[in-house]
Chain A
Amino acid sequence: DADVTQTPRNRITKTGKRIMLECSQTKGHDRMYWYRQDPGLGLRLIYYSFDVKDINKGEISDGYSVSRQAQAKFSLSLESAIPNQTALYFCATSFGVSSTDTQYFGPGTRLTVL
């Protein structure tokens, strides 16, 4: 089984709808991250969490919120989806806090907002 799983893998929704993307990990890591990937822009950090009580905004947090329900679960919500939130979303985990630590990514969720 995969260490970092994301659900759903694909989602099509309409403008204004509330969407939740879920991430679960079995690696036992405290650190979890949400990124979005757009063609030509690489990965951009939305939110990150270093433990259940520690939530931090990333580069592009506007329009998004997160919930860290447990060490193993980190959810990303779009309260009112808009078309420019159409993207590939990745969850990642890491063991340490150093920038040289490996980040382990899930398989991604492809979100389309019509």
Chain B
Amino acid sequence: TQLLEQSPQFLSIQEGENLTVYCNSSSVFSSLQWYRQEPGEGPVLLVTVVTGGEVKKLKRLTFQFGDARKDSSLHITAAQPGDTGLYLCAGPTSGSARQLTFGSGTQLTVLP
């Protein structure tokens, strides 16, 4: 079974701090996506990475896809309360590119 393990599961930090969350697997993925889910809402896509070693930036968020395409990280610079949410990584399910496998998520709380 193809698994995406996310760490840490919970993270609580003060506004202005930097943080990194991780998405790891023992399997190779052709691509990975990061979604953010806010309370009472569905997940919203932040980014898709498709090339090993790829780095994408979205304002204060930096996403990296591992060289071997088995892992990804999300770094947030100068976190703000608006960054609070559940961060989910997702990749194509082994044997079925039409489906996505999601990690269990990192619950981030940024305190003012």
Residues of A within 8 A of B (CB): 4, 35, 40-45, 48, 50, 56, 58-59, 90, 92, 97-100, 102-103, 105-108
Contacts and interface: CB of A to CB of B under 8 A. Distances in A.
Contacts of B105: 42
A43 B102 contact: yes
Interface residues of B, number: 27
Contact of B42 (A40, A98, A108): A108
Given A40-B104, A99-B30, A99-B91, A108 B99 contact: no
Interface in B12-38: 30-31, 33
Nearest to B6: A42
Contacts of B48: 100, 102
B104 A102 contact: no
B41 to A, nearest CB: 6
A8 B91 CA distance: 29
B68 interface: no
A27 to B, nearest CB: 13
B9 interface: yes
